Structure 1
């Protein structure tokens, strides 16, 4: 019998997934899975972390490695939107039966009968539902995937946390899956994870340092400039630059995500904008965990369409994981998130086309009351913000190697020190700075809104070019 060429098999399977070839990191992930080794991968948003486990079973089949029992993959996923998105993407692969728990009564019945190859489910279902746990043990689970594994720490709380106070307590118990399927290796995936969180998650999941394949790429996004500005504690004053610019530019306003830390702030910002600009309501949406599912789908669909009229989405971090936003190079954070992980996640939502982008973090003193020490340090640092942020994610050795030759597009602090005399200022910066320049320094709150669009020298084209 002729020897099967593994690389040729992988290439053939990739074609079915509309992928020409695997990236180096994806290939190493797949190799670890084929070797039945635990693997932890920290790779940037949009990198394609899911592809290795998606092609795993087809590759195994073509290699002739399937045993007498059908091998299955369980994907522990934090968000329903993520599960739905992955299942929809895989529906075109005829040789894979893919499902997610809670999709429908009919789908749950198929899952109960074991009619799946890849199953997506939440921690609440996989470890919090005793009946479902017992049911799953009847099936041959050959791989456990933990998607967005940093949520084990950020949402699950610590071992000594009050379970009534943590966001989703079953996240901290995800490690129990190891005891349910002791022979199944773990593939843990995240786009953003601090060194501290990675150590804790490895402990929760029972991943031993020497026996686990570790693959990572720095979360640094060099095309995204980091800008921090302090604003008034009054929402109306803090964002009137945005309201004024939207009213002036209308459909020429650059597509922008605006993140808030609470549903309350999302509602206040959204209601203020649409109240002030009744003729622009079709350009603005809001998105949070309580938004109806059909509305969420409409907004996500609009963000995936570069020609959509939706230009501003005011949201909590519920709008995030797994959502590919097209033609968006501006993100505004109304108050920094609690952790540097959430900060990097929010910043990374934009600029996926590689074009110059900006993350504008605006804050008041109230916003800093409940954030982690690392976030406070990032906000108050006097040197490079990018280095201050990255030191939480990469080793000291790698940090020493880090250099940024384009200071004016690194962060606001580096831009101040740049001596090139031709620093570029991105669209949202120009809009924000124009407001600041026109603010009266006197106490009478009088503001000059006499703008000339031509003088702004901005390209607000919604085309890919």
Structure 2
């Protein structure tokens, strides 16, 4: 048995590696560098934690997640691993103790934020100890084109020259070819081995629908998918603005959902309380900006909802990936509308970046729109963005309820002609979707009369669709690249591609608005479906015990044992600690710490 496999079994309680884990671990143990692209829940942490325990010295783990370091370290200590962190939340005495332990060679891993590692004092201090390896987590933060860019990550490339003999491993749960290339170049990992796993998360059902009374849509979704019977499930709702976060959290709370807001404008103590409740309790819904969630290891998040259009497919994938880390059915739901597109375009146009940057951001948005408006499998479209091909999944909204498509060439020509005639006949006047819709429907209002737009040849020629239908047409024309919002007010202009549609050289197909569907298999469940009868009851007894232990230790429940491990214990029903050690997820440290208590829970249950 190799040292890596022995560590996997005795410390972490797993019988075998998954996917590329073993090759990655052996690469780093042997002193080589690695770049690892692996989906959330794929076991990235083990790829540096096991080498940290096998190699001499202490692993330096670069993590941008100061608020989560204590929980990350606490979870490792539960396994008997000597871990610590250094960050700005510690008082001088705590920092001094960590520094002493590091220099004495008593630590296996130490977590440090990139901002801390960019300081010369920190680098000089770490150089006084023995460094086993350098792990750069959330490595996509180095990408200036990415969704979570952190400037201090750019300085991490210097560590290759500072510690040339120390193996380095960069890890991320999402990266396009461009981001992958940036990680490699900026972190000076050109000689590293690269490991790219499938990004598919088959347990997540992706669903996207048009906005129509957004708050009621969200509430309906949560009431349908956010409960297991009468028991509320854990979820995250993402919004772009702080005001939206607060309004939506308040709305959900008024309607009986245990929802809390989280954004950077709140004081740190409130944010910390929210995060602690989310990690330690079941059934909590956090409404947050995208700053929330990266690195959170909570396995039983059953749904992630977006009430605003994400800026990129990478961001969307990263955020939805926080659902279902335990492999059980979960849902990624989003509602978006034309106003989202206009807002995103306006933000790009008004940004401080140069033209190259704005064009890159526009391409990211175009890809996100294509995902929203596709009539094909969402998962196929999503993974294709990352350069991976799969068959249709059968578990997204477009697979479960394939949207009909219709020949929208004439409708498209009516919209595009209206835009063209306003520009040509009224001295360059440009308007948004609402005004175009009013013209096509022949609405009589003061604005149309004031500007004489009722004299347009397209006035009143669009009565075959209602206002929502025309807004859908405009939205899809933008997604297909025939219209482009511009300026502060998002007025619509023709693109070069629109000419071929107007001339009839190109036909246009649109998707009909799909009916709302539920995830396959019905509502998401907190427990595996095969647990029933006595096994299910024993599982609940073990969960009750785990909750009490976690409360006493002031730690998230999953750091004691995961749901999967409790399910396996309920099925195996061990009668002694040696039998407990055969259960996946039970290592020697946890067996020594909790083994007798678990056996007592089982014995008490059997005596009933």
TM range (shorter): 0.7 to 0.9
Of the candidates 289, 294, 299, which is equivalent to residue 316 of structure 1? Answer: 289
**Structure 2 counterpart of 1:6:** 2
Matched, 1:21 2:9: no
Matched-pair contact (CA < 8 Å) for 1:328–1:350:
yes
**Structure 2 counterpart of 1:226:** 206
How far apart are 1:89 and its partner, in Å?
Answer: 1.2
Of the candidates 105, 110, 122, which is equivalent to residue 119 of structure 1? Answer: 110
- Paired positions, count: 388
Aligned pairs for 1:121-270 within 5 A: 121-127=112-118, 129-153=119-143, 168-208=150-190, 211-232=191-212, 237-243=213-219, 251=230, 255-270=234-249
How far apart are 1:88 and its partner, in Å?
Answer: 1.0
Matched-pair contact (CA < 8 Å) for 2:37–2:195:
yes
Matched, 1:286 2:277: no
TM-score by length of 2: 0.57
How far apart are 1:167 and its partner, in Å?
Answer: 6.0
Matched-pair contact (CA < 8 Å) for 1:152–1:201:
yes
TM-score by length of 1: 0.73
Q: Structure 1, residues 324-375: CA drift from partner, whole Å, max 9, x if none?
A: 4454432211113222221111111223343443211111223232562322
Q: Distance in 1 between matches of 2:374 and 2:222?
A: 31
Matched, 1:350 2:323: yes
Matched-pair contact (CA < 8 Å) for 1:340–1:374:
yes
**Structure 1 counterpart of 2:47:** 52
**Which of the pair has more CA radius of gyration?**
2
Matched-pair contact (CA < 8 Å) for 1:75–1:120:
yes
- SS of the residue corresponding to residue 366 of structure 1 reads helix
Distance 1:229 1:269, change over 3 A: same
Aligned pairs for 1:323-402 within 5 A: 323-368=296-341, 369=344, 370=347, 372=364, 373-394=366-387, 398-399=388-389, 402=390
How far apart are 1:146 and its partner, in Å?
Answer: 0.5
Q: Distance in 1 between matches of 2:72 and 2:61?
A: 10
Distance 1:196 1:155, change over 3 A: closer
Q: Distance in 2 between matches of 1:10 and 1:461?
A: 33
- SS of the residue corresponding to residue 389 of structure 1 reads helix
Q: Distance in 1 between matches of 2:84 and 2:217?
A: 46
Q: Distance in 2 between matches of 1:123 and 1:299?
A: 24
Distance 1:28 1:463, change over 3 A: closer
**Structure 1 counterpart of 2:250:** 271
**Structure 2 counterpart of 1:450:** none
Q: Distance in 2 between matches of 1:346 and 1:363?
A: 16
Q: Distance in 1 between matches of 2:208 and 2:523?
A: 23
Q: Distance in 1 between matches of 2:374 and 2:293?
A: 27
How far apart are 1:140 and its partner, in Å?
Answer: 3.0
How far apart are 1:295 and its partner, in Å?
Answer: 4.8
- SS of the residue corresponding to residue 78 of structure 2 reads coil
- SS of the residue corresponding to residue 391 of structure 1 reads helix
Distance 1:107 1:221, change over 3 A: same
Q: Distance in 2 between matches of 1:462 and 1:140?
A: 44
Q: Distance in 1 between matches of 2:317 and 2:385?
A: 11
How far apart are 1:131 and its partner, in Å?
Answer: 2.4
Matched-pair contact (CA < 8 Å) for 2:28–2:167:
yes
- SS of the residue corresponding to residue 358 of structure 1 reads strand
Matched-pair contact (CA < 8 Å) for 2:53–2:108:
no
Larger displacement relative to structure 2 (344-353 or 40-49): 344-353
Aligned pairs for 1:298-313 within 5 A: 298-300=273-275, 302-304=277-279, 308-310=282-284, 312-313=285-286
Q: Distance in 1 between matches of 2:33 and 2:524?
A: 47
Q: Distance in 2 between matches of 1:463 and 1:93?
A: 24
Q: Distance in 1 between matches of 2:83 and 2:300?
A: 33
- SS of the residue corresponding to residue 314 of structure 1 reads strand
Matched-pair contact (CA < 8 Å) for 1:258–1:315:
yes
Q: Structure 1, residues 90-142: CA drift from partner, whole Å, max 9, x if none?
A: 22354634333334122322344434442211111111x23223333333323
- Segments of 5+ residues of structure 2 without an aligned counterpart are 348-360, 405-465, 469-520, 530-608
Q: Structure 1, residues 264-289: CA drift from partner, whole Å, max 9, x if none?
A: 32112112333x43xx26x2222234
Q: Structure 1, residues 222-277: CA drift from partner, whole Å, max 9, x if none?
A: 22222222215xxxx31123346778999555543211123232112112333x43
**Structure 2 counterpart of 1:109:** 96
Distance 1:130 1:347, change over 3 A: same
Q: Which has the higher helix share?
A: 2
Q: Distance in 1 between matches of 2:328 and 2:78?
A: 31
Distance 1:273 1:184, change over 3 A: same
Distance 1:90 1:463, change over 3 A: closer
Matched-pair contact (CA < 8 Å) for 1:42–1:191:
yes
Of the candidates 61, 84, 105, which is equivalent to residue 75 of structure 1? Answer: 61
Q: Distance in 2 between matches of 1:146 and 1:442?
A: 50
How far apart are 1:380 and its partner, in Å?
Answer: 3.0
**Structure 2 counterpart of 1:412:** 398
Distance 1:106 1:374, change over 3 A: farther
> Superposition RMSD on alpha carbons, in Å?
3.3
